[in-house]
């Protein structure tokens, strides 16, 4: 049997279980003790009242005027007055007329108090001169026409001894019950938590080599089952992320290897052929083009890495989409003029509402979408930018759509076009395709802003890319 650690859940559950049980048993024993004490006191009161009624009928005055107790009373063995009852009789002036031998000439509670025993039987606890505690019942009863106060007492020493024995028996069973409960509680805790041990061992065995394995879910509806299902979902997300990372690494290596190989081959051929100045110029030009492509790919990877590393919402501010689009159009003014593309803007007439987002993210996304639209637009065509209101997850949002007159998106590529290093199969776009990271950056940036970017599948001519961004109040310190 494995020794329980004080830091284990089983040990802590057992300790808590024993502590709570000890508290409950202590309260229970206290209640039982006081209930038993009250029951015995009530029984003692009834016995004392009966004894008082009995003894009242046995008193008489002898010819000399002395109060006496009939001696035939003592012949009945069932009368316990002979053994332990304390009897004292006073007249209403306080003069003691009779005192039983059990009192040994000690006064039974001293002088009378007002109305003592007049209306009913009075009960109380008092202490004799010898220090013993006495339960006392007093009653006024006429004897041969003389009203007398009769006091009858019972020493509590026997009751206290009885209650002490009763308490000792209860306390003797308490540790035995707690020890038995501790063993039972530990066994129950170990049985209940045994699936957790199995899940822990299984989780420890899962590495990057076997991310496809999952924890066993014995009961999906209990707490451990729900934890196992959540952990399995986590493993699923890790497996997908790991697979995506492997694919991304392979794609990045492929994208970087191709231009590097081209640069190396071009340089080696130039050295072998010993070309002239014009051929050297052409070779260097080719190598520079591949270098530019390499730089574009590396820049895209850096932007992706920095975008993923930035915390969401750390630089949110109110952003006007039309103002941001105008700023980007001005930046792309030279490219627009080279492509001889005209730009028109449409508003649906709704009041413009700024969006709350990271301005640099939104700028990067719109810049990539606009640059792609201009790049694929045929010379002399028109680029349409439309602003409208929208809803995003049942919340108000602002939408900007950019439509070009290019070759458009092939069927089945509307979602894949946002994948990293994706290259379309459309031969009309392959020559103008870049590193395949621009739209991936745009999607990542918009996702980080809580928005949505998509290509309109209903577009019949060219491509129409829309961006929805939520409308909301920015935190005051970030406005």
DSSP string, 3-66: PPPTTSHHHHHHHHHHHHHHHHHHHHHHHHHHHHHHHHHHHHHHHHHHHHHHHHTTEEE-TTS-
pLDDT of residue 432: 62
pLDDT of residue 346: 92
pLDDT at 255 (0 to 100) = 75
Nearest to 110 by CA among 82, 85, 138: 138
Nearest by Cα to 390 from 330, 469, 274, 453: 469
Per-residue confidence (pLDDT) for residue 1, from 0 to 100: 47
Find the helix or strand (DSSP H, E) in which 218 lies: none
- The SS3 assignment for 227 reads helix
| Residue 478, pLDDT score | 44
Task: Write out the E strands in 233-354.
Answer: 316-319, 342-347
End-to-end CA distance of the chain: 63
Residues of the chain with pLDDT under 70: 1-7, 71-83, 274-275, 309-314, 428-435, 475-479
Q: What is the pLDDT of residue 219?
A: 82
Judged by phi (left if over 0) then psi (alpha if -120 to 50, else beta), residue 336 lies in: alpha
Residues 6+ apart with CB under 8 A from 274: none
335, containing H or E segment: helix 333-339
Kindly report the backbone phi and psi dihedral angles of residue 423, in degrees, each rounded to the nearest multiple of 5, phi listed first. -125, 125
The confidence score (pLDDT) of residue 80 equals: 53
| Per-residue pLDDT at 382 | 92
In terms of Cβ atoms closer than 10 Å to its own Cβ (0-12, 13-18, 19+), residue 397 is buried
Check: CB of residue 399 under 8 Å from CB of residue 464.
Answer: no
């Amino acid at each position: 049997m494995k020794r329980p650690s004080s830091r284990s859940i089983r040990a802590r559950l057992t300790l808590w279980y024993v502590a709570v049980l000890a508290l409950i048993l202590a309260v229970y024993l206290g209640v039982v003790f006081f209930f038993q004490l009250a029951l015995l006191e009530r029984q003692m009161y009834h016995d004392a009242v009966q004894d008082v009624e009995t003894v009242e009928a046995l008193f008489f005055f002898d010819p000399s005027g002395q109060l006496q107790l009939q001696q035939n009373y003592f012949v009945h063995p069932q009368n316990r007055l002979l053994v332990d009852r304390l009897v004292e009789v006073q007249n209403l002036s306080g003069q003691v007329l009779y005192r039983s031998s059990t009192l040994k000439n000690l006064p039974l509670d001293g002088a009378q108090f007002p109305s003592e025993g007049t209306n009913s039987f009075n009960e109380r606890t008092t202490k004799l001169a010898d220090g013993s505690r006495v339960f006392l019942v007093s009653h006024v009863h006429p004897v041969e026409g003389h009203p007398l106060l009769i006091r009858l007492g019972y020493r509590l020493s026997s009751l206290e001894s009885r209650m002490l024995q009763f308490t000792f028996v209860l306390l003797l069973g308490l540790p035995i019950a707690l020890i038995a409960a501790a063993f039972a509680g530990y066994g129950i805790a170990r049985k209940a938590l045994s699936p957790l041990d199995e899940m822990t061992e299984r989780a420890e065995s899962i590495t990057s080599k076997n991310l496809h394995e999952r924890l066993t879910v014995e009961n999906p509806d209990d707490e451990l089952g729900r934890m196992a299902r959540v952990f399995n979902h986590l493993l699923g997300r890790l497996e997908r992320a790991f697979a995506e990372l492997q694919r991304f690494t392979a794609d990045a290596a492929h994208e970087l290897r191709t231009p590097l190989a081209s640069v190396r081959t071009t340089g080696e051929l130039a050295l072998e052929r010993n070309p002239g100045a014009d051929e050297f110029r052409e070779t260097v030009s080719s190598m520079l083009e591949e270098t530019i492509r390499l730089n574009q790919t590396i820049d895209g990877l850096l932007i992706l890495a920095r975008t993923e590393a930035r915390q969401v919402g750390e630089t949110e501010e109110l952003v006007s989409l039309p103002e941001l689009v105008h700023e980007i159009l001005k930046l792309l003014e030279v490219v627009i003029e080279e492509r001889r593309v005209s730009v028109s803007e449409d508003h649906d007439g709704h009041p413009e509402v700024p969006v709350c987002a990271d301005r640099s993210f939104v700028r990067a996304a719109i810049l990539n979408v606009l640059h792609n639209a201009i790049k694929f637009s045929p010379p002399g065509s028109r680029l349409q930018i439309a602003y409208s209101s929208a809803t995003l997850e049942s919340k108000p949002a602002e939408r900007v759509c950019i439509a070009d007159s290019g070759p458009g998106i092939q069927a089945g590529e509307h979602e894949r076009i946002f994948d990293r290093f994706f290259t379309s199969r459309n031969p009309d776009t392959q020559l103008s395709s870049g590193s395949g990271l621009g739209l991936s950056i745009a999607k990542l940036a918009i996702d980080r802003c809580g928005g949505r970017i998509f290509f309109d599948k209903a577009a019949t001519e060219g491509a129409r890319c829309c961006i929805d961004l939520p409308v909301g109040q920015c935190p005051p310190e970030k406005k």
